[in-house]
Amino acid sequence: MAKIKKKTKTKKKKSGSGAAGFKTHRSKKSAKKKSGTFLARFITFSKTALAVAILGGVAFGFVVLEDYVRKTGPVAGKTGELVAVGLPDWVNKPLREKIYSAATANGEDLTIDRDAARSVQQNLSRRVAWLEDIHVQTTTESICITKATWRKPLAMIKRGATKYYVDNKLRILDFVELSSLPIVEITGLTAAGSISEPGQECLCEDVAAAVAVLNMIQKRDERQPPQRRLLFEIQSIDVSNYNGRQDADAPHIIMYAKDKTEIIWGAEIGTWQRYLEAADIEKTAKLFGYYQRHGSLLNGVKYINLRESRRNISRPVDRY
């Protein structure tokens, strides 16, 4: 600061002479020249710096983009797990293992790429009767079944030593032990009746008649708390007299509780008027009315008669 003040005083002393004035003029010109040179250099430096910054920014952008792709994109040869969205709570470990085995074609690696997802979807469609309308896609860590309709077994059929399930739409399912669902065995089927392959529709008329009864009961049963489902107490449904093929006057369909109590349903769904029986909806109401009054179907009675209308029979239950 002291040095700057000294120079200022010197300039004031020489301002009166012509030489000083010339020098002063030359000094301004020199200052302008230096100023212009500095400005030019500054502009040049700024341009250079800007160019470097732009190039550096572009390079940084590619680095960041490459890092993003590397972190989020599928890695060649990477394997992951098979997951499913919205898995029903009744699907147990044996069934999950069956689904996984079919999806991987019994050992195929789950490489995370589109080809693997397509292969999994095809394997499930071809090999698994339990699923329909299947959609599969990849994530960064897995191959995911994002959407599928699960076929839920309602009844069981035996053909010799082989067991099958059938759902409410008469689709045949291969057998897997399931203890969390109320599955009723269908008995009294004719030996001539053929059972379709898993995934196909069962065309047996007597199976269809049994499933129609069970489906009507299940719809009403779904209003019950899960731990109070009536179908858990029904062991089997007998269609040996389907359409009166053994005895025209005897009940066509009879269910059996787990304590062997007969639950006499009667004619096939939709034919009650022909046989002067209670309407199907009345039969269902009577069954659940008994269940609610007594708290169970397992009360040691001989039978529960749903066939007769309330207008004709006052008590549908006879005890031993």
Tens digits of per-residue pLDDT, 238-249? 999 999 999 999
Question: Do 171 and 314 fall into the same domain?
Answer: yes
Q: Containing domain of residue 203, as a range?
A: 153-319
Question: Do 123 and 162 fall into the same domain?
Answer: no
| Residue 193 reports pLDDT greater than 70 | no
Number of domains in the chain: 2
Question: Do 208 and 132 fall into the same domain?
Answer: no
Alpha-carbon gap, residue 239 to 71, rounded angstroms = 61
Question: Do 258 and 243 fall into the same domain?
Answer: yes
Among candidate residues 106, 133, 150, the one where a domain is terminated: 150
Q: Is 239 part of a structural domain of the chain?
A: yes
Alpha-carbon gap, residue 12 to 192, rounded angstroms = 130
Q: Is 276 part of a structural domain of the chain?
A: yes
Identify which has the larger pLDDT, 106 or 57: 106
pTM given for the model = 0.70
Alpha-carbon gap, residue 167 to 71, rounded angstroms = 44
| Residue 175 reports pLDDT greater than 60 | yes
Least confidently predicted of 25-34, 208-217, 270-279: 25-34
Class of residue 215 by CB neighbours under 10 A (exposed 0-12, middle 13-18, buried 19+): middle
Identify which has the larger pLDDT, 4 or 248: 248
Provide the token pair at 127.
Answer: 């090999």
